[in-house]
Amino acid sequence: MTDDPYRTRVNALAVISAAAFFGANLFIGLSMGVYWLALTPAHFVTQFFPQFSSFLYTIMPLFLLMPVGLILSARLDWQNAPARYNWVIALWLYLAVSLITVFFHMPLNVRLAEAVGSPVADTLSFYTGIALVGPVTDENAGTIRALWLLGHIPRVFITLALPIYALRAVTAGLR
């Protein structure tokens, strides 16, 4: 193990936040996904946004802390090619999950917020301009739910790979 406490802390931040973010995404996909599939489409629409808002307070800090750990750790290991390689992959994975979030899930989330009259929909209305779907209705609620859950599958796999590459980078940085 390294004697550099700063390196230890930023590496821990990168790995722990990435692993926790994976765990949160897995929970959303499996536990919440199974629950949402058990609901009627209309009931899903009324339940989704309040529940999403609740777990957002857990997942958003992880999402914001993770790049801090990844970038600072990559900076420390930039001269170590094997470690740098793994940090760069982790950073690309973070970018991929961010793009899925911003361009796929956020527009759907805002549409679902709009469907229940949440003021968040008005605040984030710019997302409706890039949404793949129009307003949520009783007729398309099942499709919206399926789209949201299917779009979450790559997020789970990407977030699984993130802590793996971060751990690989840490171990390569110790050599």
For 112-130, the pLDDT digits (tens) are 999 999 998 899 989 988 9
On the CB side of 112, CA atoms within 13 Å amount to: 26
For 8-54, the pLDDT digits (tens) are 999 999 999 999 999 999 999 999 999 999 999 999 999 999 999 89
Q: Which two tokens stand for residue 72?
A: 């600072």
Please report where in the chains the tokens 């750790």 appear, as a residue.
73
- Full domain range(s) for residue 29: 5-173
Between the two ends of the chain, the Cα-to-Cα distance in Å is 10
Q: What pLDDT is stored for residue 13 in this prediction?
A: 98
**Residue 37 burial (CB count, 10 A):** 13
From CA 103, how far away is CA 174, in angstroms rounded? Answer: 37
What domain count does the chain have?
A: 1
Q: Which two tokens stand for residue 142?
A: 């099942």
Q: What pLDDT is stored for residue 2 in this prediction?
A: 60
Q: Is 98 left (phi over 0), alpha (psi -120 to 50) or beta?
A: alpha
